[in-house]
């Protein structure tokens, strides 16, 4: 029942300070010229899709429809030492130099505004705070509502609206400071976690399970045969999906690939890169709110079996504000002890009712 389990939602308003706005002047240079060419070629006026309104929409919906068992807590910035476990020092220096500036970081339109470096430090540090809370046994699970997102960020490169790889920083901290040996990362964002994959590709102690819309969808990586390398071969699991894949296909991937993989791996901590852009309103895949509930329940069952209470979700993408807010709500209801309905193909229930309604019109008795 909802309220049977405790969930800590981590939120820190400093994450709202990351607000690139192309109406303002950006640092000039080759990259700016390149991005401006791309933006000038668009038919529609472009605005930065990863904006503070995303977090506000989630917070407002949770305030409107409160969930029993939920506790709020604030976050903290990550230190240079914590970030340097997954990013190079020269990359951290480059990002520090952007403090207080508007600048493009990648030609894929990733950018920073004056408050972005602090927001990114707080996003990564808040993921760490969430891991520390569950490792201390303070709740049944935790969810870090942070931005900028992290899973596209590579050791030396900002990409895909991501500056620091929040989940990777939190995993590295759990291993270095909190005694975790085997960490399972489940990335259900619609985009492949190229950064997370790169960071842990040869690491046998971190398993990455990643469902995503298949290449050539951004970022283009995450093929079936990308399975890890060296002693990490076998601990990277990619499940590329065609456009339109929905509840039935995604739940099947969780039940038939993730569950046996997790039972083999026996994690002592689970992190979820929780994106919400696989909802149909975000136009990448076709998961419903029931689908979000169903995959959360599967993840929670894995956690209950191998590492009770050691479950942390960290926000990644999700750009349609309605499906983002309602998706997070569906997930948190399950974390708080709710039961997920069994997913059905969209329309099956309605067609069954229509059959019942119409069929007697075509019989003679």
The answer to whether 275 contacts Zn ion (rule: CB under 5 A) is yes
* Closest CB 184 distance from Zn ion, rounded Å: 20
DSSP string computed for 77-112: PPPHHHHTTTS-HHHHHHHHTTTT--EE-STTS-EE
The answer to whether 282 contacts Zn ion (rule: CB under 5 A) is no
The answer to whether 189 contacts Zn ion (rule: CB under 5 A) is yes
Binding characters for Zn ion, 134-173, by CB under 5 A (x = yes): ----------------------------------------
Residue whose C-alpha is closest to residue 138's, from 186, 178, 188: 178
Q: Which C-beta is closer to Zn ion: that of 133 or that of 211? A: 211
Q: What angle do CA 84, 189, 86 make, to 5 degrees?
A: 10
* Closest CB 282 distance from Zn ion, rounded Å: 8
C-beta separation of 212 from 238 below 8 A: yes
The answer to whether 309 contacts Zn ion (rule: CB under 5 A) is no
The answer to whether 210 contacts Zn ion (rule: CB under 5 A) is no
Backbone φ, ψ for residue 3 (5° rounding) = 105, -10
* Closest CB 279 distance from Zn ion, rounded Å: 11
The answer to whether 277 contacts Zn ion (rule: CB under 5 A) is yes
- Residue of the chain from 140, 317, 337, 343 that contacts Zn ion (CB under 5 A): 317
Q: Which of the ranges 50-58, 131-139, 179-187, 274-282 carries the binding residues for Zn ion, by CB under 5 A?
A: 274-282
Based on C-alpha coordinates, what's the Rg of the chain? Answer: 21
Rounded-to-integer distance, Cα 87 and Cα 162, Å:
13
The answer to whether 187 contacts Zn ion (rule: CB under 5 A) is no
Rounded-to-integer distance, Cα 230 and Cα 130, Å:
31
- Given 152, 173, 306, 320, the catalytic residue: 152
* Closest CB 48 distance from Zn ion, rounded Å: 15
Tokens of 344: 């059905």
* Closest CB 169 distance from Zn ion, rounded Å: 18
Q: Which C-beta is closer to Zn ion: that of 173 or that of 191? A: 191
**Tokens 């007697």 sit on residue:** 360
Which sign does the torsion angle of CA 161, 206, 14, 318 carry?
Answer: positive
Q: What is the largest CA-CA distance in the chain?
A: 81
- Residue of the chain from 5, 54, 159, 191 that contacts Zn ion (CB under 5 A): 191
* Closest CB 2 distance from Zn ion, rounded Å: 27
Angle subtended by helix axes 166-177 and 116-135, to nearest 10: 40
107: exposed, middle or buried (C-beta count within 10 Å: 0-12, 13-18, 19+)?
A: middle
Q: Which C-beta is closer to Zn ion: that of 267 or that of 317? A: 317
The answer to whether 240 contacts Zn ion (rule: CB under 5 A) is no
Rounded-to-integer distance, Cα 131 and Cα 170, Å:
7
Q: Which C-beta is closer to Zn ion: that of 14 or that of 212? A: 212
Rounded-to-integer distance, Cα 240 and Cα 225, Å:
10
User: Which of positions 59-98 make contact with Zn ion (CB under 5 A)?
Assistant: none
* Closest CB 316 distance from Zn ion, rounded Å: 6
Q: Which C-beta is closer to Zn ion: that of 70 or that of 105? A: 105
Q: Which of the ranges 131-139, 190-198, 257-265, 320-328 carries the binding residues for Zn ion, by CB under 5 A?
A: 190-198
**CB-closest chain residue to Zn ion:** 317
Q: Which C-beta is closer to Zn ion: that of 212 or that of 310? A: 212
Rounded-to-integer distance, Cα 236 and Cα 243, Å:
22
For the question of residue 290 being annotated catalytic, the response is: no
Q: Which C-beta is closer to Zn ion: that of 106 or that of 177? A: 106
Q: How many CB atoms lie within 10 A of CB 345?
A: 10
Binding site for Zn ion (CB under 5 A): 189-191, 275, 277, 317
Return the active site residues. Answer: 152
């Amino acid at each position: 029942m909802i309220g049977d389990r405790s969930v800590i939602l981590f939120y820190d308003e400093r994450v709202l300070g990351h607000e690139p706005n192309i109406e303002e002047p950006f640092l000039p240079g080759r990259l700016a010229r390149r991005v401006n060419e791309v933006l000038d070629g668009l038919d529609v006026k472009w605005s930065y899709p990863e904006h503070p309104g995303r977090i506000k929409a989630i917070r407002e919906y949770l305030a409107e429809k409160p969930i029993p068992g939920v506790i709020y807590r604030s976050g903290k910035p990550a230190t240079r030492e914590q970030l340097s476990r997954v990013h190079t020092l020269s990359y951290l220096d480059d990002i520090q130099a952007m403090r207080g500036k508007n600048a493009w970081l990648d030609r894929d339109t990733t950018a920073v505004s004056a408050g972005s470096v602090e927001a990114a430090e707080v996003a990564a540090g808040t993921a760490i705070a969430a891991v520390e809370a569950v490792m201390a046994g303070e709740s049944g699970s935790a969810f870090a509502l942070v931005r900028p997102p992290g899973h596209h960020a590579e050791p030396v490169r900002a990409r895909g609206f991501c500056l620091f790889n929040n989940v990777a920083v939190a995993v590295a901290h759990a291993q270095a400071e909190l005694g975790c040996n085997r960490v399972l990362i489940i990335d259900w964002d619609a985009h492949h976690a190229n950064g997370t994959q790169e960071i842990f590709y040869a690491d046998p102690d971190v398993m990455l399970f990643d469902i995503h819309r298949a290449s050539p969808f951004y970022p283009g990586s995450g093929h079936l045969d990308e399975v890890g390398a060296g002693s990490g071969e076998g601990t990277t699991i990619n499940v590329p999906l065609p456009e339109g894949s929905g509840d039935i296909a995604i739940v099947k991937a969780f039940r038939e690939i993730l569950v046996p993989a997790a039972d083999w791996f026996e994690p002592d901590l689970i992190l979820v890169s929780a994106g919400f852009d696989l909802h149909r309103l975000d136009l990448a895949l076709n998961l419903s709110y029931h689908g979000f509930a169903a995959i959360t329940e599967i993840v929670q069952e894995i956690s209950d079996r191998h590492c009770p209470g050691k479950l942390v979700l960290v926000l990644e993408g999700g750009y349609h504000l309605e499906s983002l807010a309602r998706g997070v709500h569906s997930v948190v209801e399950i974390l708080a002890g709710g039961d997920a309905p069994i997913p059905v193909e969209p329309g099956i229930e309605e067609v069954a009712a229509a059959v019942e309604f119409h069929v007697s019109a075509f019989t003679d008795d």
